[in-house]
């Protein structure tokens, strides 16, 4: 059982005080008792001398008469034992059984006087029995006078000393307790202050300090605790700052980062990973498989953190959303506490755009090759026919040359559109944006499509008047945007049906809708309709000389103007057809 410092100190002081008090008191008790006994013997000796003189001067025919006379004069009983040991004069306290064998008589026989202190058997009192030797005198035989002297005074004083001794110990203990209580209260207050400070620092309150310094013995300890708290505060501040910097770096990364321990349990994630996998922040202390449904990723992480596993491993992760990630998993010995085995860091690099660009590049090469191969094959065939011997008739030669010219023009249009699209994508052709009337660009675009519209008996219905609105746009790009959308509406819409252009003001933007009543665009093709060379009805391209780049160019033109373009098929409130909707910024009115 462990005692507190206060209890140990109290016990030690009490024992020490008891010893220090008991020894002097015991010694004083012994000396006082001896002095009182000596005083009692001295008084008893004087009485014995007086008794002897009275005995020798008394007259009487017998020993009993003399002893009776002496007793009357002294007022006390006196006994007499002859030298032969016979009790000649008895008392209440000395009967005939007394003889020469008693210690006080033996002492008197040698020294003349003898004393013996004895406790009364029936009374809790001590008495001193005294004897003096008497020689033959006249008619008196030789013998020993004996008297009894009560030691009540001695007993009282001894009792008083015992009481003092008895009460001194508790008094000293109580006094020690009071002193110890006073000292330990101050000591306990100082220790509690230091304990509270240490506990506060342990609980994270690193600013807590010991303000009131305790006694001299604890000043160094208090200063040490304050110094320790300051160092911990500095280290925690540095560690927190470094952690915040690292977390800021991780959160600023474009790649998702996942830190795992030696048991392949997630310890921390950055903001990008939470964006990739919503709810990942709730997956701490869980395995990657619990938040990312990829057994390959889980197995790769387990291999890297294993002692005999590789230092790094790469896994490709394809999500249901279509995003593709290269996950680089690297062993990290500093992600967990020493001695618990290595951890791992997984970096999720989004390669969706790269994959998409690779696919687009492959599709672009294939589409360009296909688009150019058809007219080149036609040109090559007709040219070889014209070069053959004998040459075809002149009317056939003219038809062949017209076909060669038509295919050459088609190739030139493809190349021009590709160059135009390349300039728009690279940002080199930003355009000259000025406030202009969109009706002018719409009219110019319709004039360019007029021949095709007359051939299919298609008319333009525009619910916008001249000078009604002004938009901030590039005139050439806006005219090309309207022309591309009008040509598509004329080509793929039904004959004898109008192309409708509507508008709607939304805040600081003007929304246009170019709508036809054709068969429309299937929902599966609508997300890709603005890609280069993508066509819903590829077999109808050659019928109209389409390059498949018009909608891609239109998307970039609208994007350069800060707007958006989308397709609705069928349009709202219509059973069929397609509507291309785009927005342009309204020009600010001059003050």
Task: Give pLDDT tens digits along the chain (591 positions).
Answer: 566 666 777 777 777 877 777 777 777 777 777 777 788 788 888 888 888 888 888 766 677 888 888 888 888 888 888 888 888 887 877 888 888 888 888 888 888 888 888 876 655 677 888 888 888 766 667 888 888 887 776 667 777 777 777 777 777 777 777 777 776 666 667 677 777 777 787 777 777 777 766 566 667 777 887 888 888 888 888 888 887 787 777 777 778 888 888 888 888 888 888 888 888 888 888 888 888 888 898 999 888 888 888 888 898 888 888 888 899 999 887 544 544 567 888 999 888 888 877 776 776 666 667 667 777 887 888 788 888 777 777 788 788 887 888 778 777 877 776 776 666 666 655 667 888 888 888 888 888 888 888 888 888 888 777 777 888 888 888 888 888 888 888 888 888 888 888 888 888 888 889 988 888 888 888 888 887 777 666 544 445 456 667 788 888 888 888 888 899 888 887 888 889 999 988 887 654
Separation between Cα atoms, residue 386 and residue 395, nearest integer Å: 12
Predicted TM-score (pTM) of this structure: 0.44
pLDDT digits (tens, 9 = 90+) for 461-489: 887 777 778 888 888 888 888 888 888 88
536: nearest Cα among 474, 61, 528, 304: 528
Q: Helices 438-448 & 475-492, crossing angle to 10 degrees?
A: 50
Q: Are 129 and 148 in contact (CB under 8 A)?
A: yes
Q: Which residue(s) pair with 87 in the sheet? A: 81
Chain center to CA of 380 = 77
Selection from 263, 269, 300, 295 nearest residue 282 by Cα: 269
Max CA separation in the chain (angstroms) = 210
Buried b (16+ CB within 10 A) or exposed e, 500-529: bbbbeeeeebbbbbbbbbbbbbeeeebeeb
Which two three-digit tokens encode residue 416? Answer: 């021009």
């Amino acid at each position: 059982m462990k005692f507190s410092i206060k209890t140990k100190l109290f016990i030690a002081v009490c024992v020490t005080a008891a010893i220090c008090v008991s020894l002097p008191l015991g010694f004083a008790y012994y000396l006082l008792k001896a002095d009182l006994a000596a005083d009692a013997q001295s008084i008893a000796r004087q009485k014995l001398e007086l008794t002897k003189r009275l005995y020798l001067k008394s007259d009487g025919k017998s020993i009993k008469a003399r002893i009776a006379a002496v007793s009357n004069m002294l007022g006390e009983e006196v006994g007499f034992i002859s030298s032969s040991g016979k009790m000649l004069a008895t008392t209440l306290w000395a009967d005939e059984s007394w003889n020469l064998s008693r210690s006080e008589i033996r002492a008197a026989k040698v020294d003349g006087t003898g004393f013996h202190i004895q406790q009364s058997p029936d009374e809790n009192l001590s008495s001193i029995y005294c004897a003096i030797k008497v020689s033959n005198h006249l008619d008196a035989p030789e013998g020993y006078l004996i008297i009894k002297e009560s030691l009540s005074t001695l007993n009282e004083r001894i009792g008083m000393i015992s009481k003092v001794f008895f009460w001194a110990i508790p008094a000293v203990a109580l006094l020690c307790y009071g002193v110890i209580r006073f000292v330990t209260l101050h000591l306990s207050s100082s220790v509690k202050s230091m304990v509270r400070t240490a506990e506060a620092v342990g609980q994270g309150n690193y600013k807590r300090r010991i303000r009131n310094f305790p006694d001299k013995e604890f000043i160094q300890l208090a200063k040490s605790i304050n110094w320790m708290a300051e160092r911990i505060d500095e280290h925690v501040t540095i560690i927190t700052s470094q952690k915040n910097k690292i977390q800021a770096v991780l959160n600023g990364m474009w790649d998702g980062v996942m830190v795992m321990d030696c048991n392949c349990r997630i310890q921390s994630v950055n903001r990008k990973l939470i964006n990739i996998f919503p709810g990942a922040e709730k997956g701490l202390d869980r395995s990657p498989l619990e938040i990312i449904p990829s057994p390959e990723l889980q197995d790769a992480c387990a291999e890297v953190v294993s002692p005999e596993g590789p230092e790094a491993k790469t896994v490709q992760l394809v999500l249901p959303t279509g995003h593709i990630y290269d996950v680089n998993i690297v062993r990290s010995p500093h992600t967990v506490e020493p001695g618990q085995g290595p951890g791992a860091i997984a970096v999720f690099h989004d390669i969706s755009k790269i994959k998409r660009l690779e696919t687009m590049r492959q599709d672009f090469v294939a589409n360009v090759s296909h688009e150019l191969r058809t007219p080149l094959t036609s040109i090559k065939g007709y040219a070889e026919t014209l070069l053959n011997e004998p040459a075809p008739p002149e009317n056939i030669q003219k038809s062949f040359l017209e076909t060669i010219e038509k295919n050459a023009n088609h190739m030139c249009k493809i190349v021009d559109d590709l160059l135009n699209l390349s300039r728009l994508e690279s940002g080199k052709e930003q355009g000259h944006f000025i406030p202009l009337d969109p009706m002018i660009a719409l009219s110019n675009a319709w004039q360019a499509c007029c021949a095709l519209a007359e051939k299919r008996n298609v008319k333009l219905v525009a619910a916008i008047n001249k000078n009604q609105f002004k938009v901030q746009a590039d005139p050439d790009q806006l005219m090309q945007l309207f022309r591309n959308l009008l040509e598509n509406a004329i080509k793929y819409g039904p004959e004898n049906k109008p192309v409708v252009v509507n508008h709607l003001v939304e805040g600081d933007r003007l929304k246009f809708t170019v709508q036809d009543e054709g068969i429309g665009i299937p929902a599966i093709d609508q997300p890709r309709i603005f890609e280069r060379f993508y066509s819903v009805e590829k077999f109808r391209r050659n019928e109209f000389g389409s390059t498949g780049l018009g909608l891609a160019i239109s998307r970039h033109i609208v994007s350069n103007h800060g707007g958006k373009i989308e397709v609705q098929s069928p349009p709202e409130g219509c059973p069929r057809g397609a509507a291309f909707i785009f927005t342009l910024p309204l020009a600010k009115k001059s003050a």
